[in-house]
Structure 1
Amino acid sequence: MVLSTTRSTLRNTDVLVVGGGIAGLSVAVFLAQQGVDCLLVERRAELSGHPRARGVHPRAMELMRAAGVEAELRGTPSARLLADNSGVIAATSLAGPELGVLDEKYVMDVGADIGLLSPTGWCLCHQGELEDVLRGRAERLGVALRFGTELVSFDQHGAGVTALLRDRATGADRTIEARYLVAADGAHSGIRDTLGIAFDGETLGHYLNIHFDADLTEPLAGRRFLMCYTAGEGVRGALVPLDNATEWLLHVAYDPETTELGSFTEERCAELVRAAAGVPELRPRIRSVSPWDGAARTAGRFRDGRVFLVGDAAHVMPPSGGFGSSTGIQDAHNLAWKLAAVVAGWAGEALLDSYDEERRPICRATVEQAALRSKDRPRLTGGTGGIGGSGGTGERPPVHPGIVEDAQVWLSWRYRSSAVTAWDEGVLPGYGVWSAENDGRPGGRAPHLRLRRGGAELSVLDLFGDRPVLLTGPDNRAWQEAARAVAHELDLPLTVHGIGAELIDVDDRWPELYGVTAQGAVLVRPDGVVAWRCADAPIFARDTLRAVLVRLLAR
C-alpha cells in the first residue's frame, strides 16, 4: 500500500534492515527466502570490497548452503586461490626463520576432514567477495536494496516502527512504516546508542590493515598458510595472503595515544611491509590503509521492542578463531525464521523473545573464546609472537583452561530458551553453553546425518528451512497421522520425514545420533535446531505433539 505524505512517499514493509554488511545482507536473504517483504538500507553508496575479514566457518557455511550460495562462494577468486591454505605460523619475517606453529589441541585446521560432523567445511573467501555474493542473492530474491540511504531517526509504536530515511546523494527524505527493524549497522551502531543499550567489554588493541601488492613468492617458498605472525626487528604484525603470491594484508599494532594515524604515510607503510617480508629492496604498492580495534564486546540486550540487533551491532570480537562474521550470519538465521513465522501468523509474538534468550549467551561466550585465543597467540614464540607480543623468550606457558575446541564453538552450542523444551545440562562443566558433543539434545544443532533419497545423497540439514520438521524412524504411521492433524488444527506448516523409510540412513547412525528408537521422533525448528525429542512413540502422539508446538511457537 502506498500513501501520500507531506514529507515523502510512505512505504510499508514487513522488516526494515539497516546496514548492508554481511549480517544485514544475510538477514535480508533469509527473510526473502521465506517470503517476508524486506527493505534494506545502507549509508554507503557501494560495498567496500575491502578484504577485511576472511573465512566462513563450517556452521556459517551450512547456512550459506541453505541460502543457495555455497557453490558461488567456493567459486570466488579468493576461495579458489586459498582453498589449500592452512595453519598459522610465526617467524622473524616471511623470509626469516620460523619461530613456532599454532598446533594446540583446541585448534581444528581448516583443512581437517569433518565429513562426519557437517556436509560442508571452511570457505576462505574474503569479506568483500562474501558481501558481493550475498547482495546478488538478495537481489535475485527480490529484496529492495537502497544503497546511499541512511537512517535519520526512528520511532517505535504499537503497530510497528516509523523510520525517517535520507538519500545521501539528493538529501531527499522519506518515511517508512515497518513491522520490525533490524539493526545491522556495525560496531558503532547508532540504533544501539539511540536505544541506550550498553556495549560492555574490553579493547585488546588497536591495529592497521595495510592492503598491498608485492611479489612475495620467493620468501613465501611454496608455503600455504593462513597467517604468518612476524616478530622480528622493525614490525610486530601478521601477514595474511590473499592470493598466495602478490596480494596481501599486513596487520600492524599501534598505540593511538602515542602515534597519530596520519603518521602512517605510504612510505612508512612500505617500510613496515619490507620489514614483515624480510626483503629490504621490496617496493610494495600500497592499496589502502584502514584502522580497526581488536575489541571484545557484547550488547546488553539484543531486542528492544520491535528492534533487533545482529552482527557487529550486537557483538564484536578479535579475529582469532575466525568467529566474527560467521557469528553474525548465525544471528541472522536465528532471527529470520522467527520473524517469518510471526509475520505469517503461525507463531505468536512472544516467540521473538527467544532471539535474545538464545543468541546473547552464545555470542557472549563466543566473544570470550575469540578474546582468549587472541591472548594465547603470543605463546607461538614464547611471548614474542603475535600482534602486540609482550616480549621475552622461553618455553610456552600452558593453554588457558577456558579455551574450548574449535569444533565445539562452531557446532556444539546449546540454546536455552522458551523455544526449546526441557533443557537438561549436558554441557561442559564450567563452560555454560558448549556441549561435549553435538548429540541431538533439545537446544543444539541437529546433527549431520548422511541420507539418500532416490539416487541423490543429501544431509539431514538440507531438510530444514521454512517450517518445523518432524524426523521419525521407519515406523512412523502414528507420527504421520498426528502431524497431519495438528498442522491442520493449528494452521501451520509442518513436514514429516521418515529416516529409514523414504530416506535411507547411509551410515545407519540415526538412533545413535538423535537418541531415539525406531518409534521415536525429533522436532527440528526451521533453523535446524532440535526443539524437542521423544525417544519412543507416546500413547497420545497427537496430544503430545500439539502441546509441544503450542508452547514452542508461543501460540
Structure 2
Amino acid sequence: MTEQPQVPVLVVGGSLVGLSTALFLARRGVACLVLEQRAGLSAHPRTRGVNPRSMELLRAAGLEDELRALPSARALARNSGLRLARSLAGPELGSFQEEYYREVSSDLGALSPTSWCLCHQNELEGVLRRAAERAGAEFRFGSELVSCAQDADGVTALVRDGAGGTTSRLRTRYLVAADGARSGLRRRLGIPFDGTGGLGRFLAIHFRADLAEELGERRFVMCYTFNDRVRGALIPLDNASEWRLDVILGPEDPGTPEEVLAAFPPERCAELVRAASGVPDLAVRVLGAVPWEAAAKVARRFRAGRVFLAGDAAHVMPPSGAFGSNSGVQDAHNLAWKLAAVLAGQASPGLLDSYDAERRPLGAATVRQAVLRQRDRPRGGERGARRVLPPGLVDDTTVWFGWRYAVGGDVWVTDPSGLPGTRAPHVPLLRDGAECSTLDLFGDGPVLLTGSRPGPWPAAAEAAARRLGVPLRVHGIGGDGAYEDSDGDWAKAYGTTDAGAVLVRPDGVVAWRSAGTQDDAEDALHAALARMLCR
C-alpha cells in the first residue's frame, strides 16, 4: 500500500456531475482529484438537454461556444417540441402543448443571455473533462473508492486501482460523492433516500437506421410512439441515422438490469425499433441498450461531516422536464464556490452548512415538478379536451429561474426581481458598444452592482473588503459606470434604485441589496459580506 499526498477536494464519480464539480472547483483555483471506476468516459449518449440555467453556468465557465459547436448540438439546433404518433412513419396524433411547457426553441431573450443546448451527454462530458484538466483538475479512471474515514482535519480514503488491484491511501480535506443513484458513499454514510421508486422501467436502445425519409422535415425533441407492438419514445440524435428508443417495460418483463438485457438481445431490440419507426423491413444496427428505472427520491441529508452528496447521489427524478442532470450541475456550482471560499480562508466552515439548507429543499421541490410532469404527459396530446393541470405544477421558466434559497416555505417565486436568495436577473448591457449581460459579471468572486448614482458604495466596497480580507469587484451600471443599461431596466429588475447597490454571490445569487444610498454604507456592506461568508 502506498501513501499519497493530500488533495484539497476528492470527487468520487467521473460522470456529468463529478466533471462539473471538478471544473467549477478548478476554475476557482482549488486542486481536486476525480476518481472514476470506469476506464474512461461513457460512449452512450444518455441525456442531451442542457437547460438555460445550466447553460448560464457553463457560459460563465467560457464553454458556451464550444458546446454549441459539438456535432450533436449542431445537428439538433432546430429541434423542438414533443409529438405523439402510432409510429414515426404514421400520422401524428398530436403534440404536447401546455401552458407550463416551454419549447426548446422558445425565445428567452428577456430572461437569459443564453438558451437550451441539445447535445449528447457523452460529448458534453468530453468538453467538461478537457476544460477541467486545462484548469488544473486531475483524473484517475479505473480507480475505486474502497472506504473512507473522517477525522477533525479531513478524510482518509482507501483507493483501489482497477488495473493492477493495488491500493493506496489518500488524504483530502473534503469529499464530494457524485457516484450516482446507487451511490456507495451515501449507503456507507447511512443516509437514506426518501421517496418512491417504481415510477416506470425503461430500456434505452441506442441504434443506427436510416429514417430520414420517415422523419421528413420534422425536427422534434421526442416522439412518443404507441402501438400494439411497442410503447416508448423515439429520440433523434442526428435527425437522420442515429437514434434512441426508450421502450416502456411492463410488469411481465424481467426485473434486474442483467435479466432485462438477457431478455432483449439485439435482434429483439431491432424489432422494437421497426415497430416504433413503422418500417417493417428497416435495416437496424443496435449500438447498445441500457435499462433504467424512473424514481422520485431525495437523500435525507446532503452532507455528512466532510462529505457532500451531489447529483443523483442526492436526488433522482423522472426525466420529464429534463431537470435531473441539470439539477446536478447546479448542485456542483453551488458547492464549488463555498468549498473554494472555505479552503482559501475567506469564509467560515459554517458556510458549508448552507449547501444542504439551500440545495435539499430545492432538490425536493424539483423532484416533485418532474413527477407532476410525468403524470401529466400521457394526457398532453389530447385534442380538444379542456385540460385540468395538476395542482402545484409550476411553469418551466419558474423551475429554471424562479427559485429562492430560503429555509421553510415555497421555493418558487413567480417574480424574483432581485430578492435576496434568488438568481440575479439577466439585464442586457453594453460595454464599449458590445452586448453582454449582468450575468456575465458573475462567477469569479463576490460582486457589488451599483447604479448611475453610486454615491458612497464603491469606496464602501473597497473598505469592507479590506476589513474582511476578501476580494470584491464593483461594477457600475449607467452613469459613469463601465456598463450601459440601454433600456434602463437594471434598477427595476433588481428591486432597487439608481442610488442603490446589490451584492451578488460568486454563484450569481443575490446576497443582499440596498434600495438607495446609506450613511453607514461601509458598515452595512461589511455586515452583508460577513453574513454571506458566515464570518
Matched, 1:511 2:458: no
For this pair of structures, how many residues does the alignment match? 527
What is the match of residue 274 of structure 1? Answer: 274
Q: In structure 1, what is the Cα distance between the partners aligned to 2:251 and 2:31?
A: 44
- TM-score by length of structure 2 reads 0.96
Q: In structure 2, what is the Cα distance between the partners aligned to 1:351 and 1:552?
A: 8
Aligned 1:68-87 pairs, distance under 5 A: 68-87=62-81
Letter in 2 for 1:318: P
What is the match of residue 515 of structure 2? Answer: 535
* Cα deviation code 1:406-431 (max 9, x no counterpart): 011001100015xxxxx9x7xxxxxx
Letter in 1 for 2:5: R
Q: In structure 1, what is the Cα distance between the partners aligned to 2:253 and 2:105?
A: 41
Matched, 1:401 2:391: yes
Tell me by how many angstroms 1:456 deviates: 2.4
Matched-pair contact (CA < 8 Å) for 1:56–1:326: yes
**381 and 524 in structure 1: CA distance in 2 versus 1, 3 angstrom threshold:** closer
SS at structure 2 position matched to 1:527: coil
Matched, 1:224 2:219: yes
What is the match of residue 239 of structure 2? Answer: 244
Match of 1:493 among 471, 485, 489: 471
Matched-pair contact (CA < 8 Å) for 2:83–2:381: no
Q: In structure 2, what is the Cα distance between the partners aligned to 1:525 and 1:550?
A: 12
Q: In structure 2, what is the Cα distance between the partners aligned to 1:368 and 1:218?
A: 39
Aligned 1:103-502 pairs, distance under 5 A: 103-203=97-197, 204-255=199-250, 258-259=253-254, 260-261=259-260, 262-382=262-382, 395=385, 398-416=388-406, 432-500=410-478, 501-502=481-482
Q: In structure 1, what is the Cα distance between the partners aligned to 2:341 and 2:179?
A: 24
Q: In structure 2, what is the Cα distance between the partners aligned to 1:332 and 1:289?
A: 29
SS at structure 2 position matched to 1:321: coil
Aligned 1:23-102 pairs, distance under 5 A: 23-102=17-96
Tell me by how many angstroms 1:438 deviates: 3.4
Segment of structure 1 superposing worse, 199-208 or 115-124? 199-208
SS at structure 1 position matched to 2:462: helix
Tell me by how many angstroms 1:74 deviates: 0.5
SS at structure 1 position matched to 2:57: helix
What is the match of residue 428 of structure 1? Answer: none
SS at structure 2 position matched to 1:354: helix
Matched-pair contact (CA < 8 Å) for 1:451–1:504: yes
Letter in 2 for 1:254: L
Segment of structure 1 superposing worse, 81-90 or 465-474? 465-474
Matched-pair contact (CA < 8 Å) for 2:55–2:116: yes
Letter in 1 for 2:483: L
Tell me by how many angstroms 1:14 deviates: 0.7
- TM-score by length of structure 1 reads 0.93
* Cα deviation code 1:139-180 (max 9, x no counterpart): 111211111111000001000111011110011111111100
Tell me by how many angstroms 1:254 deviates: 1.1
Matched-pair contact (CA < 8 Å) for 1:99–1:380: no
Tell me by how many angstroms 1:546 deviates: 1.1
Letter in 1 for 2:330: Q
Q: In structure 2, what is the Cα distance between the partners aligned to 1:455 and 1:347?
A: 37
Tell me by how many angstroms 1:403 deviates: 1.4
Tell me by how many angstroms 1:322 deviates: 1.0
**394 and 412 in structure 1: CA distance in 2 versus 1, 3 angstrom threshold:** closer
Q: Give the ranges of 4+ consecutive aligned residues of structure 1 lying more than 4 Å apart after TM superposition.
A: 393-397
Matched, 1:524 2:504: yes
Q: In structure 1, what is the Cα distance between the partners aligned to 2:227 and 2:251?
A: 22
Matched-pair contact (CA < 8 Å) for 1:381–1:396: no
Tell me by how many angstroms 1:401 deviates: 2.3
Q: In structure 1, what is the Cα distance between the partners aligned to 2:228 and 2:293?
A: 23
Q: In structure 1, what is the Cα distance between the partners aligned to 2:52 and 2:521?
A: 35
SS at structure 1 position matched to 2:119: strand
What is the match of residue 548 of structure 1? Answer: 528
Matched-pair contact (CA < 8 Å) for 2:45–2:121: yes
Matched-pair contact (CA < 8 Å) for 2:97–2:381: no
* Cα deviation code 1:65-121 (max 9, x no counterpart): 011111111111110000000000100111112111100000111111111100000
Matched-pair contact (CA < 8 Å) for 1:380–1:396: no
Q: CA RMSD in A?
A: 1.4
Q: In structure 1, what is the Cα distance between the partners aligned to 2:528 and 2:221?
A: 46
Q: In structure 2, what is the Cα distance between the partners aligned to 1:47 and 1:551?
A: 40
Matched-pair contact (CA < 8 Å) for 2:96–2:381: no
Tell me by how many angstroms 1:198 deviates: 1.0
Q: In structure 2, what is the Cα distance between the partners aligned to 1:257 and 1:26?
A: 39
Tell me by how many angstroms 1:400 deviates: 1.0
SS at structure 2 position matched to 1:505: coil
* Cα deviation code 1:337-376 (max 9, x no counterpart): 0000000011100000000000011111111111111111
**380 and 410 in structure 1: CA distance in 2 versus 1, 3 angstrom threshold:** same
Tell me by how many angstroms 1:258 deviates: 4.0
Q: In structure 1, what is the Cα distance between the partners aligned to 2:192 and 2:487?
A: 48
Aligned identity (percent) is 60
Tell me by how many angstroms 1:394 deviates: 9.6
Tell me by how many angstroms 1:396 deviates: 6.5
Letter in 2 for 1:301: R
